[in-house]
Structure formats: C-alpha cells, structure tokens
C-alpha cells in the first residue's frame, strides 16, 4: 500500500461570500450572492433585485472572516494545514464589474490574507469566482449571457494575477462550473437573473440561454488559463467541477445508458472542454436534440484549445442513480436531484452518503484525463450541538471524513494521481443552497445562528483535533 505522497496538500476550504461578511465595507460592491435571503430546506431562499428592508441576507455579515482572518488563519496553522482554499470576491476588486481601475482596499485585504497564510507556510488555492459576480454586471448585461462579461472578467483576472503573482501558485477558475448544465444552476453561477425576483425553487433557465452563457464562461475560463500560462508560467491552473457519479438504478441496459447520458451532460460536458480543449463528441447531438444553437464565433475553438487546465479539481458530496423507472423516490442534491439509491444512507439534508462513490469518481476522472487531481470540497452539513462546556462532539463528521479520506487513499493505491484535499469547510459558514447557518460544515464552530444573531466566537470541534492527527500522520492511520 503506497498511500498519500509526502507533499500531499492537506487543506481546508471556504468561499468569500459564505464567510467574509462586510458586504459593503471598504468599497466592496454588491454581488449576486448578496441578493439571496436566508432560507431553509423547506422555505427556500429568495433572490431579490434590490435589498429589501424586512429580509435577512446572510452573506452581509457571513461569519465575519473579514475581521477575523488573522485568528482563523492562526487556527489553520495550529491545525497543521498545508493548503487553504478560499475565493476572491470579484466585487471587492471591481465593485460593479465595469470600473477602469481596481479598488485598492479590496486588493489590500487579500494581500493581508495571503501574507498571513505565507507567514505560516500554508499554500493558498484561490478560486477566482465562487458563486458570485458583480450585481452591476447583472444589471448591465444579464451576467454571463453577454460576451462582454468575458472582457470584464479578464480585467479582473489581469489585476489579481499581476498583484498576487508571487503569492499564489494554484488557481481555480469557476467554482462548480457544471452546475449551469442544470435548470436552476444559472441562478447562482451565471448571473442570469436580470429581471428575476423569486425563490431558488421557482427559478429555472431555458437550455438555450444557459448553454450559451456557459459557453461564454468556458471561454473566460480558457482565456484566464491562457493568460496565466503565457505570463506567469509558475501558476498551476485548475478547473472545478461538482462531480456527481450516476449509477444505473438496475442492471437493465436502458438504465446503464441513462446513467451514462446523465454523467455525460452533468460531469463530462464542461470538463472535456476544460481539460481536452473542445466540446465532447456527444455535445452536438445534445444540442440538436434540444434545439440549441450555440453561437460559436471564429476564434472561439482556438481559445478553448489554448486554455486547457493543468489539474482537475472537484467537489464531491454524493452519488445518484439514473434509470427509466418512474416511481422511484428522489434523492436531494445541490442543484440537481436523482433517484434514491436503496443501498445508501443520507445526511439530515437528504444528501446520499457514498465514500465509495468518491473512489469511483476519482478513478473515472483519472482514466479519462490522466492529469493530477485535487478534491477541493467534501464534507458533511449537519446540526451540531454546543455543549455547556463549549465542546462540540461531531463524531458523525469525523466518520464522514474518515470514510472519504480512506476512499481517496484507496484511489491513490489504484493509481490515481491525487495531489490534494481541502475539506468543506474550515469554519462554519452560510450554506449556499439554503442560506442556513445550522447546516454546519466546519471543523471550527462559529457562534452565528440562522437569524443572524451570535457573537462570532470560534470554538474547535472534535473533528478539528481528529483532522490534525490525520495531517500529522499523513493519512496513514485514520482512527
């Protein structure tokens, strides 16, 4: 058994809009993420066109990472983290997206975060855009539906690449870019919300509009990668896919084809573009079956070809089943649902728990692309109980992490080139899908509640101490 390499990047992850707060501080403009109210599993978040007085918007104060980053990064160093994944909030740098020059205070904030990480020898992994974009670009251009958005995004990339070129080596372009292949994904990923006010359940986007906007985002991703490769050869550029493996519900050949088709569109459609530099063979049929005509201009194909990534990154939370049966119960997921697998248990939020699915996914990805892989999100959203002595005994989270880390170790033994793991999440944060705080993911508990109350006090959970041990022994002993 070979196990994790010596320089394996043991890490943890967060995203700007889910932790920072300070949504209108030091020149920051409103982002799409700032327009989502709080919600729950049953009462969906509402996306509003302007800030409404009687509503609570959890990103506005997040868990106040903006003012606690020093304390948080110190705890990251005490945990022994080798890597830290976070995102830059585009609206701290370009408040409406269209300014000619960047907001210096925003740039300074990330300088300070990076300096702090550097002080403790922690490798940053930076997501350029994690589920947000300037609301100004929604107003002006309806988000990624416009090709012009690519230019504004490139202005942003030019500035941050130049500014942080000596501080950041690993970059991810767009978080979970494949969510936009689903009807609801564009709400959070593409800014296709110009005239929308309504719940996350009611939103849907037609396939023509979202696949065209996704084409623009794929071009932007490729251009960013090319810019990095041309000017900053020390950078390592990655994509980021919400990877969900689909199993056939039965061994009926129709079910096998259904699962294959589902994975083609959800998992491989975007990553073939980002890794191989062209749309996969099945895209044309998918477009024509759905009457979609992608406006691919001369030059677009070259851009995609020239902007292929150096490594593949994914989030992994669940697997699903697909098949032709109509009466099978549904299983919940992030932006997509699927058939419930009778062999699997689910989290309190209905996400199916399947560590073997991670091993299966890593093998599938590596077989297809043979480039290094990082798992940059994986974790359990659960209700945590704060004991009177301020302890949090989250054995369920430890079990979850243990089984998934074991699956990664097995996949390495299978021969997969896995170079890093950043669990979701480092600190408790606002849930992206429900806007709750009570769906907690962190290794560190934060006193912040669903209604916005709380002192922001940080407390280490049992999982923090367990993960520290795992990092110390490089994953050789997972007990």
User: Which of these ranges, 39-47, 278-286, 430-438, 469-477, lies near ligand BG6 under the rule CB under 6 A?
Assistant: 430-438
In the complex, least distance from residue 214 CB atom to ligand BG6, rounded to whole angstroms: 16
- Cβ contacts of 361 within 8 Å, gap of 6 or more: 243, 245, 314, 316
Count of residues that bind ligand BG6 according to CB under 6 A:
15
In the complex, least distance from residue 86 CB atom to ligand BG6, rounded to whole angstroms: 12
Alpha carbons 156 and 162: distance in angstroms, whole number: 10
Quick one: how far is CA 335 from the chain centroid? 12
Which one is catalytic: 176, 254, 301, 348?
176
Q: Which is nearer to ligand BG6, 259 or 336 (CB)?
A: 336
Across the beta sheet with 123-129, the strand order is 236-238, 170-174, 123-129, 83-87, 9-13, 418-424, 373-377, 312-315, 241-242
Quick one: how far is CA 412 from the chain centroid? 23
Q: What would the x/- binding string for ligand BG6 be over residues 388 to 427, using CB under 6 A?
A: ------------------------------------x---
Structure tokens at 307: 């902007």
Contact indicator for 183, 204 with CB cutoff of 8 Å: yes
Residues in region 189-248 near ligand BG6 by CB under 6 A: 242
Residue nearest ligand BG6, CB atom distance: 433
Q: What would the x/- binding string for ligand BG6 be over residues 11 to 30, using CB under 6 A?
A: ----x--x------------
Alpha carbons 203 and 193: distance in angstroms, whole number: 9
Q: Which helix (H) or strand (E) holds 413?
A: helix 395-414
Contact indicator for 407, 358 with CB cutoff of 8 Å: yes
Q: Which is nearer to ligand BG6, 220 or 242 (CB)?
A: 242
262 binds ligand BG6 (CB under 6 A): no
In the complex, least distance from residue 471 CB atom to ligand BG6, rounded to whole angstroms: 22
β-strands 83-87, 338-339: how paired?
Answer: unpaired
Q: Determine whether 462 is exposed, middle or buried from the number of CB atoms within 10 Å of its CB (0-12, 13-18, 19+).
A: middle
Q: Which is nearer to ligand BG6, 283 or 432 (CB)?
A: 432
Residues in region 320-359 near ligand BG6 by CB under 6 A: 334
254 is catalytic: no
Q: Which is nearest to 86 in space by CA: 23, 129, 28?
A: 129
Q: Which is nearer to ligand BG6, 212 or 378 (CB)?
A: 378
Q: Which of 23, 109, 131, 174 binds ligand BG6 (CB under 6 A)?
A: 131
Which one is catalytic: 116, 123, 132, 377?
377
Structure tokens at 472: 């110390």
Q: Which of 431, 443, 464, 467 binds ligand BG6 (CB under 6 A)?
A: 431
Q: Which is nearer to ligand BG6, 224 or 242 (CB)?
A: 242
Residues in region 51-110 near ligand BG6 by CB under 6 A: none
Q: Which is nearer to ligand BG6, 103 or 129 (CB)?
A: 129
Contact indicator for 435, 38 with CB cutoff of 8 Å: yes
Active site residues: 176, 377
Binding site for ligand BG6 (CB under 6 A): 15, 18, 131, 175-176, 242, 315, 334, 377, 381, 424, 431-433, 439
């Amino acid at each position: 058994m070979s196990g994790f390499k010596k320089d394996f990047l043991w890490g943890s992850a967060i995203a700007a809009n889910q932790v920072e707060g300070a949504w209108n501080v030091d020149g920051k403009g409103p982002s799409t993420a700032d327009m989502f109210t709080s919600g729950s599993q049953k009462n969906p978040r509402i996306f509003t066109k302007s800030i409404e007085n009687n509503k609570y918007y959890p990103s506005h104060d997040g868990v106040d990472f903006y003012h606690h980053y020093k304390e948080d990064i110190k705890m990251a160093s005490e945990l022994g983290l080798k890597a830290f994944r976070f995102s830059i909030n585009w609206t701290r740098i370009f408040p409406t997206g269209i300014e000619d020059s960047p907001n210096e205070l925003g740039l300074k904030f990330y300088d300070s975060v990076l300096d702090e990480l550097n002080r403790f020898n922690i490798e940053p992994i930076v997501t350029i855009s994690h589920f947000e974009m300037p609301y100004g670009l929604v107003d002006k251009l309806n988000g990624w539906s416009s090709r012009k958005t690519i230019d504004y995004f490139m202005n942003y990339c030019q500035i941050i690449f130049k500014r942080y070129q000596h501080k950041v080596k690993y970059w991810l372009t767009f978080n979970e870019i494949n969510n936009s292949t689903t009807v609801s994904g564009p709400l959070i990923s593409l800014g296709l919300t110009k005239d929308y006010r309504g719940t996350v359940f009611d939103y849907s986007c037609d396939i023509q509009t979202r696949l065209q906007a996704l084409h623009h985002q794929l071009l932007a991703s490729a251009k960013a990668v090319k810019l990095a490769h041309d000017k900053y050869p020390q950078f390592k550029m990655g994509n980021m896919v919400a990877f969900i493996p689909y199993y056939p519900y039965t061994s009926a050949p129709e079910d096998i084809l259904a699962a294959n088709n589902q994975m083609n569109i959800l998992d491989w459609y975007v990553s073939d573009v980002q890794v191989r530099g062209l749309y996969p063979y099945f895209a044309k049929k998918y477009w024509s079956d759905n009457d979609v005509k992608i406006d691919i201009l001369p030059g677009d194909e070259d851009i995609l070809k020239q902007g292929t990534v150096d490594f593949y990154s994914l989030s992994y939370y669940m697997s699903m089943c697909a098949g032709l049966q109509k009466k099978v119960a549904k299983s919940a997921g992030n932006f997509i649902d699927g058939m419930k697998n009778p062999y699997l248990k689910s989290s309190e939020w209905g996400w199916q728990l399947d560590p073997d699915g991670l091993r299966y996914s890593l093998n599938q990805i590596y077989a297809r692309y043979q480039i290094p892989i990082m798992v940059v999100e994986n974790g359990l959203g659960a209700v945590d109980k704060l004991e009177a002595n301020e302890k949090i005994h989250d054995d369920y989270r430890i079990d979850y992490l243990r089984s998934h880390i074991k699956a990664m170790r097995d996949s390495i033994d299978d021969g997969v080139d896995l170079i890093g793991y950043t669990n979701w999440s480092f600190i408790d944060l606002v849930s992206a899908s429900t806007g709750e705080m009570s769906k907690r993911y962190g290794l560190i508990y934060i006193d912040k509640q669903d209604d916005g109350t709380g002192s922001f006090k940080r407390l280490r959970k049992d999982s923090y101490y367990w993960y520290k041990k795992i990092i110390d022994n490089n994953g050789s002993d997972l007990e």
